[in-house]
């Protein structure tokens, strides 16, 4: 799995960091991906981050 962030949409709300703090670090107006290719053990956390991102800036790309 690969995570993609559209930084034009991201506003740094930090919902993703709450769902998966090992993978996302919300900054003032954007997010830093700490691991863009996490293993499948993170799938449920990443799916919640994608679902709850208020600007729909996140997506999962299957590899
Ligand atoms: S939840 Fe969405 S808008 Fe907020 S920091 Fe994460 S990616 Fe950006």
Q: Per residue in 3-51, pLDDT tens?
A: 999 999 999 989 999 999 999 999 989 999 999 999 999 999 999 999 9
- What integer pLDDT is reported at residue 22 of this predicted model? 97
Distances (CA, A) of 28 to 44, 45, 58, 63: 26, 22, 17, 30
- What integer pLDDT is reported at residue 16 of this predicted model? 98
**Atom 4 in ligand 1: which residue has the minimum CA distance?**
13
pLDDT band at 63 (very low <50, low <70, confident <90, very high): confident
Number of domains comprising the chain = 1
- What integer pLDDT is reported at residue 42 of this predicted model? 97
Domain ranges, residue 11 = 2-61
Ligand 1 centre from 63 Cα, in Å? 22
- Answer yes or no: are the C-beta atoms of 45 and 19 closer than 8 Å: yes
* CB distance 46 to ligand 1 below 6 Å: no
- For the CA of 55, the nearest atom of ligand 1: 3
- What integer pLDDT is reported at residue 43 of this predicted model? 96
């Amino acid at each position: 799995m690969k995570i993609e962030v559209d930084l034009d949409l991201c506003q740094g709300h930090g919902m993703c960091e709450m769902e998966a703090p090992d993978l996302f670090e919300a900054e003032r107006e954007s997010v830093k991906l700490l691991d863009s290719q996490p293993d499948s053990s993170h799938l449920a956390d990443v799916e919640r981050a994608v679902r709850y991102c208020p600007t729909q800036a996140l997506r999962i790309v299957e590899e």
